[in-house]
Amino acid sequence: MNAPVHAAIAANVPYYQPVADECAVFENAWRHQLPVLIKGPTGCGKTRFVAHMAARLGLPLFTVSCHDDLSAADLVGRHLIAGGDTRWCDGPLTRAVREGGICYLDEVVEARKDTTVVLHPLTDDRRILPIERTGEELAAPPGFMLVVSYNPGYQHVLKTLKPSTRQRFVALSFDFPAAEVEMAVLRHEGGADEMLARQLVQLAGQIRRLTGYDLDEAVSTRLLVYAAKLIASGMDPRSACRVALVEPLSDEADTIAALLAVVDTQFGY
């Protein structure tokens, strides 16, 4: 492949700052036709990582945001009536198997239980997708890859993957990146200068270390990027941090006040 083509591909790859060997692991899993499970807190870069790797490998990406009502039919497909005729319509999982590419199920444990059962034949050496309603049995092409993610720290005990499902995947654990890596993300994605990036990362560290407050989740890298964009555009840092970091974390007045006090300390108010 010549240099101009390499440059064109690089320009279309979503930005992602590697933390360890996750890119190499993902690429090797794809080459060996292995499914991947990504675990980590909200906003730590799981979805961006998958988009980055799909573009890097030149693969179509079929993303499904899982929810309580997501059923196996939503993934596989269903018969629809159009113009008086009944026709079959592929779901995103079936499309990915037919065409090749990455099917990414974000927060897979939020989906209904029958959903994971559909995935099992695709996550072992069979690599097939049986479609009962059409009588088809699709063999996944070499370019197909199944990727799922979830947040193990947030899910209820009843919302987790069964061991029989978990052990079908190569697993990657994500967390919030080290300070220097997170600063690089804020400079690139949020338009922050060196000083602002450092202040926001230090602020995030302080909030993540807080104990005794009713915070369901820690401040995410995604929220830091939001704050960086607002401040870089000219918004007052306290106001930007309030709307981008503090308010999304809690509805409790006492908790909000405590978090704003941390913001004030960091930015010298």
Kindly report, residue by residue over 194-207, the tens digit of the pLDDT: 999 999 999 999 99
Kindly report, residue by residue over 138-189, the tens digit of the pLDDT: 999 999 999 999 988 665 545 677 888 889 999 999 999 999 999 999 999 9
Kindly report, residue by residue over 127-147, the tens digit of the pLDDT: 999 999 899 999 999 999 999
Cα 178 from Cα 102, distance rounded (Å): 28
Cα 189 from Cα 218, distance rounded (Å): 20
DSSP one-letter code for 80:
E
- Cβ-based burial of 246 (10 A; exposed 0-12, middle 13-18, buried ≥19): buried
Helix (H) or strand (E) holding 170: strand 170-173
Cα 190 from Cα 198, distance rounded (Å): 12
Residue ranges of alpha helices (H) inside the chain are: 3-11, 22-31, 46-57, 72-76, 92-99, 113-119, 163-166, 179-190, 194-208, 221-232, 237-241, 253-267
Determine the pLDDT at residue 2. 40
Determine the pLDDT at residue 157. 47
Give me the helix-helix angle, 46-57 and 22-31, nearest 10°.
50
Cα 116 from Cα 104, distance rounded (Å): 13
Kindly report, residue by residue over 78-118, the tens digit of the pLDDT: 989 877 788 899 999 999 999 999 999 999 999 888 788 89
Determine the pLDDT at residue 212. 55
- Is residue 9 over pLDDT 80? no
Cα 39 from Cα 28, distance rounded (Å): 18
Determine the pLDDT at residue 189. 95
Three-class SS state of 129: strand
Place of tokens 């101009």: 4
From 31-40, 68-77, 160-169, the region with the lowest mean pLDDT:
160-169
- Is residue 5 over pLDDT 70? no
Kindly report, residue by residue over 231-267, the tens digit of the pLDDT: 999 999 999 999 999 999 999 999 999 999 999 999 9
> What percentage of the chain's residues is helix, strand, coil (to nearest 5)?
45, 15, 35
Ramachandran angles phi, psi of 125, nearest 5°? -70, -15
Look at residues 32, 138, 167, 55 and name the one whose alpha carbon lies nearest to residue 102.
55
